[in-house]
Structure 1
Amino acid sequence: MFKVRTYNQISKKGLERLPVDSYSLQDDCDQADAILLRSYKMQEKDISPTVRAIARAGAGVNNIPLDVCTTKGIPVFNAPGANANAVKELVLAGMLLSSRGILSGIDYVNSLQGQYSDAELSTLLEAEKKRFKGGELAGRTLGVVGLGAIGSRIADMALSLGMKVLGYDPALSVEAAWRLPSSVERMDSMAAVMSHADFITLHLPVLESTINIINSDILASCNASTVLLNFSREQIVDTSAIVESLESGNLGKYISDFPSSKLMGRKDCILMPHIGASTDEAEDNCAVMVAEQLRDFLENGNITNAVNFPSLKMFRDGGFRLTLTNDNVPKILGNITTILADANINVIDLLNKSRGEIAYNIIDVTERPSAEVLASLSAIEGVINVRLL
């Protein structure tokens, strides 16, 4: 029976992917095999020695101490793309709200309550509607910074609306490139996107290289009509630089679900709670994805969408399965196979892959390794943990 400690409220559809006959879900457990959470700010003290994996039902993992987890040999799973459609639709809403007098029109209509008859109201609004005239999205240019699961969907949506799309992503993966519509014009720099787009939407992770990447220097490339949308991460934008650019005329409007006291109350900002992924469907999708990944790791040792471990998946074809996590240094794999050979244990199949300073191995063997063999494997210098599945 695997014990899974849950933080926050996890979608029922996700929890249902963990069978009750082999998984015990608890919101208070000191000896958990795994942790499943959403936005809970995890500390090192929350990670007991028994924890083998952590799963975040969402894309961002800034609330999890990744360095600590990696050192302990704990993969941290997330759900990239599971909330992509929800964010895509909110970006569309942000562009519409910024280009048409929708919010101001609603406020104006509500301010007239109880003052006029329906006939008078109809005449008045017909005369006043020109105050709320805006522009259409068709024919305008959207710049997408970050062309991953969300950015590629937004690019495709914008093209279907008749917009021109410019894209920039310095770390575009092969998988993401395949998802990207061929009509998207790839740009060589963020400044090029900023200077040519009417709307710019940000979809970057928080890395050391992306913190405050939207700053005064890059905003200088914008113009007085540019609309910047940030439904990605608060830390990638320098809020003070946004204020300066709005006031100087280098930026037209700022739309975000990361409110700041420096921006609240401004007519050139549309701010809302952090609701980019707040749909029932997105919460279900995220929970289902990470629950399935967590189960596959606990039962089979396979790793999919771990932010700190290499992806590694091997089908089971009989025998017994070992998984080993180790420092990414020479000779460890050789030492592992030597110990197995000395114990007359034949290897059926083996996969080894590294990511940064960590390496991970899946090894299927013909005989069940004894406690002594497992102890010898664990004693290899550089080996972090060993599991027999």
Structure 2
Amino acid sequence: MNKYKIQTLNNISPKGLGRFPLERYEVASDLSEPDGLVLRSASLHGMAIPPSLKAVGRAGAGTNNIPVAEMSSRGVAVFNAPGANANAVKELVVTGMLLAARNIIAAWDFVHGLDGDADTMGQAVEAGKKQFKGFELPGRTLGVVGLGAIGVKVANVAQDLGMQVIGYDPAITVGNAWQLDASVEQAHTVEELLSRSDFVSLHVPLIDATRGLINADRLKLMKTGATLLNFSRAPIVDETAVLQALEQGGLHRYVCDFPTPEARGRAGVIALPHLGASTQEAEDNCAVMVADQLRDYLETGNVRNSVNFPEAVLPMTDGAARLAVANRNVPNMVGQISTVLAQRGLNIADLLNKSRGDLAYTLVDVDGELPDAVLDELRGIDGVLSVRAIDH
């Protein structure tokens, strides 16, 4: 049995890499012809992709550093780790709200600028502390845009802190809806949410539809003195419009995880150095999740938490050989696959076909062996992107 090769492009948590058993996997940062890539922030854009590649695992949620469309065209599955860093980001969002509400950064800077003896400093503290008077969170309204794994946790913890919470997510999944506190109100539009919230926290992926989601027109809808928190991706917010809103006194604070030269040192901006998932627990969780998904895909063909392939889970049939086919989502692909197998005298023991957008994926268990000639014939079908026999 050949070993699968897993190439790492960043430092990946040993807890994650430990999920690849040594008797079946070779894991290293310098490998030729890898079956899988595991990465965090490394960019695959412009990188030469080896023909051997079957899967990419991003040990985190976002996949902007991966050319997903190109991977799909090659029949390469791309996996991420949604929710594995949710608690870490949730805690940072709460931190951001407290930093903004209690004017912590300005107060910290004030103390660090003091000098003199204890009496002099004490007098300065008593005279100066009133300028940092803040407010408490209970009774304030938090608007959460995006109710995925992170957004749900943020909404629920805000409820526990005594805040009123409204959420907006027209594409919320059934699973996430079950996890959401029943007292969270539904906003029917982003505009409604912005107009009602004292704090707004963004938890959406960066796609064409969310780029510039918070723009000048929408900022005008926010309450005077509101705080905007962005721990998703920088381009979701029109930073120029946010800085203008801060200067004009519309916004109280902009708290984000994405420092820029334009925002550095600007009054009202609290910018952190992309700390959202920077906890050991989050790194471990992400690495473990993505390693398990890669293993399942390589060893059984099952697909879980892929950003480009459909969810596809088929229990292994005892004594059968498994075929995994990725193809364009066009008519009669399953028929053509079945015909090739039938002509070779291979009986289908079980079959699962799923589609997602322009891509479809088929798992077939057949009685008997899968000769290379069969795989080559399947690869010759117009629309087939990748074919492999699962190595038991």
Establish whether TM, by shorter chain, passes 0.5: yes
Rounded Cα–Cα distance in structure 1 between residues aligned with 2:240 and 2:109:
28
CA offset at residue 29 of structure 1? 2.1
Counterpart of 1:16? 18
CA offset at residue 168 of structure 1? 0.5
Counterpart of 1:362? 363
Amino acid at match of 1:132: F
Contact residue 223 and residue 252 of structure 1 kept, 8 A? no
Rounded Cα–Cα distance in structure 1 between residues aligned with 2:46 and 2:346:
37
- 226-235 vs 128-137, greater mean Cα deviation: 128-137
Please list the CA deviations of residues 240-293 of structure 1 after superposition, one character each: whole Å capped at 9, or x if unmatched. Answer: 111222223332211101112222112211111111111111111110000000
Counterpart of 2:206? 206
Counterpart of 1:268? 268
CA offset at residue 373 of structure 1? 2.0
Contact residue 202 and residue 229 of structure 2 kept, 8 A? yes
Contact residue 246 and residue 267 of structure 2 kept, 8 A? no
Amino acid at match of 1:299: E
Counterpart of 1:147? 147
Alignment pair present for 1:116 and 2:107: no
Please list the CA deviations of residues 215-255 of structure 1 after superposition, one character each: whole Å capped at 9, or x if unmatched. Answer: 11111101321100000111111111112222233322111
Aligned CA RMSD, in angstroms, stands at 1.4
Rounded Cα–Cα distance in structure 2 between residues aligned with 1:46 and 1:203:
32
Amino acid at match of 2:336: N
Counterpart of 2:51? 49
Aligned residues: 387
| Structure 1 ranges of 4+ moved more than 6 A | none
CA offset at residue 105 of structure 1? 2.4
Rounded Cα–Cα distance in structure 2 between residues aligned with 1:375 and 1:104:
66
CA offset at residue 106 of structure 1? 2.3
Please list the CA deviations of residues 130-166 of structure 1 after superposition, one character each: whole Å capped at 9, or x if unmatched. Answer: 3322110011000000000000000000000000001
Q: Secondary structure at the match of 2:5?
A: strand
- 127-136 vs 209-218, greater mean Cα deviation: 127-136
Rounded Cα–Cα distance in structure 1 between residues aligned with 2:370 and 2:104:
68
Counterpart of 2:182? 182
Q: How does 1:258-297 map to 2 (within 5 A)?
A: 258-297=258-297
Q: How does 1:80-229 map to 2 (within 5 A)?
A: 80-113=82-115, 115-117=116-118, 121-122=121-122, 124-229=124-229
Counterpart of 2:239? 239
Structure 2, unmatched stretches of 5+, are: none
Q: TM-score, normalised by structure 2?
A: 0.95
- 53-62 vs 129-138, greater mean Cα deviation: 129-138
Rounded Cα–Cα distance in structure 2 between residues aligned with 1:178 and 1:387:
37
Rounded Cα–Cα distance in structure 1 between residues aligned with 2:240 and 2:267:
16
Structure 1, unmatched stretches of 5+, are: none
CA offset at residue 199 of structure 1? 0.3
Counterpart of 1:346? 347
Rounded Cα–Cα distance in structure 2 between residues aligned with 1:199 and 1:152:
15
Counterpart of 1:371? 372
Rounded Cα–Cα distance in structure 1 between residues aligned with 2:355 and 2:106:
54
Q: TM-score, normalised by structure 1?
A: 0.96
Counterpart of 1:3? 5
Alignment pair present for 1:39 and 2:49: no
Contact residue 327 and residue 385 of structure 2 kept, 8 A? yes
